[in-house]
Structure 1
Amino acid sequence: MSYHLRNLLTASLGIFCSCAGLADAQGAGPGTTLIEGYYWIRAVAPPNFHKYLQSNPVITESNAVLESHTTAGQFQIVDGQLVQLISEPGAPEEFLYGVVSTERFIDDKSLQLSFSIEQNTHGTFAWQGDTLTWSTPDIERPNTAAFYVCTDQLVYINLGAYMYQTPEGCADQTIHYYNDKVANE
C-alpha cells in the first residue's frame, strides 16, 4: 500500500497515532543515515540545542517541529522550496514541502510552518551560509533567519525582531543545516 493511500485511509477511518519517533508506523522513510544531497536541519543554541526539524508525526503531512535526532528529517532547498525526503533509500523519491501559513499566529507575530505534499506558495526558503531563511516580498522582516519554537515544539516564522518581545511559551531560534552522516544529540 502506498504511503499516501495509507495516510488517506488512516485519516478517513479516524485513526490517529501520536507515535513520534516510530517512523515505521507510517513507513520507513529515508532512515537515520543521511542521503547524499540532503541535510539535517537543527537548532544550535539553547533551549533547543541539537533538536532537529521534522514533521510530527514523522514523515507525514503535519506540523513542523524541532525534536529528537532519532527522528530527524532530511532536507534540501530546491527552487525556493524546503523539501523533506520521505521515501526509503532506493525507492522512487517522495517529498513533503515546508509550507508557510498566510494566517498570522501568536499575537500577530508569526506564521506557522507545516509539511504538505503540495508545494509552498507563500515565500521562499534559502540558505544564508548554513542558516535556513524564509522571505517574501510582501512582508518586511528584520531577520529572515528568525524562527520561534513554541509549545509542543511547533515551529513558526518570527515576523518580529530576533530576541525581542519573544511571546510567552516560545523561544527564539535560528536553525542550521548539518551534514554529518548521522544526526547526533
Structure 2
Amino acid sequence: MAFNKYSYLLTTVCLLAGGVASQATAPEWGQCGGIGWSGPTACPSGWYCSVGNPYYSQCLQGTATTTPGGGGGTTTTTASGGSATLVPGWSFIRAVADPNFHKYLQSEVLSTASDAVLGSPSTAAQFQVTGGQLVQSVGGNKLYGVVESRADSTIMKLKLSWSTSPATSGTFNFSGDTLEWSNPAITRPQNNAWLVCPDAQGHGDVYVNLGPYAYQTPAGCADQTIHGYTGSTATA
C-alpha cells in the first residue's frame, strides 16, 4: 500500500493532541477522573485526585499515600493523615445512600464561609447543633449553617452555606442521627429532606428540599438524608 504522508501527519497530530490532553492539569477542586472522563487526570502541586465514586474523582488539597493491601498485594489510596480525630461532643455529618454514600458535610472552600458541600472523608468538617444553629468547628472559631431565603412559592430548593454570623431564620435539629431543618413560615412534606446538586465545577452543593422526597427531584440533583456520625475519624 502506498505511503500517504497526509494521513500520517493527521494521525501524528491526533496522537500528540491526545497526549497533551492526558498530561494537562485539572484545576483546584476540579474533576480528575471517573468512568467516561476524558479530561485531565493530574492535579496541581499540593493536591491529589480523590475518588468520590466510580463516575467522579476530584482534586482535593493534600497528598495521597498508597499502602500495601492484604493477600494479593493490592493497594488502597487514602489522604495523608485522613480526617482529623473527632473532638468529643462534636460529630461528622454524612450521606448514607448513593450517589453520595459516605460523602461528608464541609465547606466548598475548606474551613471558609462558602457553599456547603458533601465531599471527601479526608476533609470532613465537625459539627454541633445547638440552640437551633448548625455550627461548624474551624480551628477554634465557628461557622454557622445558613439557608437562603425563599424568594417565592415556586422555589423548591434552598441553598445551604456557611457564614461567620449565626442564622436568623430557620432551625436545625437532629431527629435521632438525621439532620433536619424547619422554618415556621415554610411548610415541607419532610423536614429531613435534602438535595445534593453539582455546580459548574462539580462540587456537590447541599440544598434544603422543599418538595416531596424522591419525587419531582430537580434535574441533575439527588435526594439525600444526612446523618450524624461519631466514629473517631471520617471513613469512606
> Do both share a fold (TM > 0.5)?
yes
- With the shorter chain as reference, the TM-score category is 0.7 to 0.9
Answer with 133-142 or 107-116: which moved more: 107-116
1:21-71 Cα offsets, whole Å, 9 max, x none, are 438xxxxxxx61101110000000000000000011110000000000000
Contact 1:42 1:50 in 2 (8 A): yes
Q: CA deviation at 1:104?
A: 5.0
Contact 1:101 1:122 in 2 (8 A): no
Show the counterpart of 1:117: 164
Q: The residue matched to 2:228 in structure 1 has which SS?
A: strand
The equivalences for 1:21-32 within 5 A come to 21-22=60-61, 32=84
The equivalences for 1:101-140 within 5 A come to 101-103=148-150, 108-140=155-187
Query: What is the RMSD computed on CA atoms of the aligned residues?
Result: 1.8
Identity of matched residues, %: 51
> Which 5+ residue runs of structure 1 have no aligned equivalent?
1-16, 24-30, 88-92
Distance in structure 1 (CA, Å) of the matches to 2:229 and 2:146: 21
Show the counterpart of 1:160: 211
1:62-81 Cα offsets, whole Å, 9 max, x none, are 00000000000100001000
Show the counterpart of 1:79: 131
Show the counterpart of 1:96: 143
Distance in structure 2 (CA, Å) of the matches to 1:59 and 1:142: 32
Show the counterpart of 2:87: 35
Aligned residues: 156
In the alignment, residue 118 of structure 2 is paired with which amino acid? L
Of structures 1 and 2, the larger Rg is shown by 2
In the alignment, residue 83 of structure 1 is paired with which amino acid? V
